Each structure stands twice: as C-alpha cells, then as structure tokens.
Amino acid sequence: MAVRRNGLGKGIDSLIPPAPKKKTDIEKTENKVVNKESAADINKEKIVNGEQKVKITMVEPNREQPRKDFDEDSLLELADSIKQYGILQPLLVTKKDDYYEIIAGERRWRAAKLAGIKEIPVIIKEYTSQEIVEISLIENIQRENLNPIEEAMAYKRLLQEFSLKQDEVAERVSKSRTAVTNSMRLLKLGDKIQQMIVDDMISTGHARALLAIDDDEQRFILANKIFDEKLSVRETEKLIKSLKNPKKEKAKPKQQTDQFVYDNLIEKMKGAIGTKVNIAQKAEGKGKIEIEYYSQKELERIFELIMSTQQS
C-alpha cells in the first residue's frame, strides 16, 4: 500500500518510477521477468530504457476500468500520430496468467491496433485491485477522458467495493468531497437521462437541477424539453421551481346575484320610477343605483315619489 499512499492523488506520473540508468538495474529487471515467464515469452520481448516491448496481442484492456466510451475520430487521429512517431508514452500494465492487463493507456492500445502496430512499450507493475481502479480513475480524470456518468460510477465502485469513505475517495483523486458527492448524485437519475448526459444532450448542471423532481418520468419529459428548447441551467431551475411551487390564482369575487336577477330589478325600478335606471355592481355584493332625469321638473317628480314611499 506504500505505492498508493505516495502516488495516488498526486498524478499518474508519480506512480511510474523513472527508467533505470545503470546497466545493473536493467539486468535486475530482466532477471525478474525471467522468473515469471517462460523462455519462449522472453524471446518475444525487448528491454528498452527500462521499458518492455511486448506483442500487442499479449495485452488486453481491463474490463473493470472506468472508461467505456472512446471517440472513434479521436482514436483515428491518434492512430495516424502513432504511425508517424510511435507510442511516445508506455502503457502501464500488470501481469496476469498469460497476458498483460492494461492499468493506464487503453486509448493508446486501441489506437495502436488501428495503426497496425505489432509491438507496444509497457511498464509492468504489480497492484491490488483497489489500486488498479484508483490509478485508472486518476489517469482518466487528469486527461478529462471520462464522461460524467463513467466518473460517477468509478467513485461508486471505490465506495462500495472497497468500502472507502467519500473523504478518502476525494483525497485519492485530488477532488473536493463536494465534487465527488455531486458527481455521484447523477446516478440517482434514470438510465434514459444518464444517456442524455453521456450524449451531451444536457449538461451536469441541468441534470442536478432535475434531481429536485421526484418522479423519474417527469424528469425525462423535462430533460427533453431542456434539449428541445435549449434551456439554460438558470431557466431550467426557474421552470422546476414554478412546477414545484405553482402560484395560487386569486379567487374571483363571488357574485351574490347573477346578471338576470339584476336585469329584472332594473326593469321593475324603471316601471316604478318612470325613467331610466341602472345598477352598477361592485365586489362583495356592493354597488350603486343610478337614476337618470332630463329636467328640473322630472327631478322634483322623482324626489316626491321617493318621499311618498317613505311616508307610507
């Protein structure tokens, strides 16, 4: 575990020792290989500056490595570069029964196969399963090779399979605890939304905003709305807030009597007073009565009519 304590979280370069300069060091490396492999295999390998060149057919990727997605165009570009200049950085591998398993450098391995390379440079190291996961994760994070879901899955594996705490995971990959926590929260989303993140249809900012919605189907509907309408993260947060806390519409004043009743009253008052009458409605059953007159004489008549009803 001394290797992990000194190297992990400090960069992938610190995990690979410098090439031995003295001849005696190279001889020791050769002797160590001889003890582990058959003479037939040794004849297939070459020692170059502390690196071993092995047949590419003897190297296989780690099935448990965090990265699953490789951009085809990027691999073709790297393959063209390898054809011209070779593999500039050796792959880090560990020895299995009859092959070498890649710890770091699967992208270079894939590109080398596309380029038709027969032998590749490797550095052979022995690590525990946990250290292999950590090193693969560190290298991919440093190179920004992982998509957000791959990164979150790698953190989850370190937590569950190796019983690490989030603080320990954060320390090993040189990330803040908050960054690790936010990354793993993405795994609470459904598979369809996770694939949208992988496909760059929505950002991690959009995805974290969607976590405020409990129903996964509603999340997916909103995720498609975000993509279709090209909503920003802020617009998404505002939309989700409005969905979770809808504004209550102000209750309209309840009318005490419908318009038919008012019209009936108006007609009766017109018949009793003998002139045009209007009722203006207000809220809460309030209002006012308007009586029109067209001369001073008519006003006196209306006045006398009203006073007579009061005296009776």
CA 8 – CA 1 distance, rounded (Å): 10
More confident site: 267 or 196 = 196
Q: Is 139 a catalytic residue?
A: no
Where exactly are the structural domains of the chain? Answer: 17-124, 201-244, 259-311
Question: For residue range 26-45, what is the model confidence (pLDDT) as tens digits?
Answer: 344 444 444 444 434 444 44
Is the predicted pLDDT of residue 250 greater than 80, yes or no? no
Question: Which of 51, 106, 131, 134 is labelled catalytic?
Answer: 106
Strands 287-291, 100-104: pairing is unpaired
Strands 91-95, 119-124: pairing is parallel
What does the buried/exposed string (b/e) look like for 160-169 if buried means 16 or more CB atoms within 10 Å of the residue's CB?
A: eeeebeeebb
Least confident of 28-37, 104-113, 139-148, 183-192: 28-37
Q: What is the pLDDT of residue 275?
A: 81
CA 294 – CA 296 distance, rounded (Å): 7
Question: For residue range 132-144, what is the model confidence (pLDDT) as tens digits?
Answer: 777 777 776 666 6
Check if the beta carbon of residue 138 is closer than 8 Å to that of residue 130.
no
More confident site: 104 or 239 = 239
Check if the beta carbon of residue 95 is closer than 8 Å to that of residue 36.
yes
CA 246 – CA 184 distance, rounded (Å): 30
17-124 placed in CATH 3.90.1530.30: yes
More confident site: 246 or 96 = 96
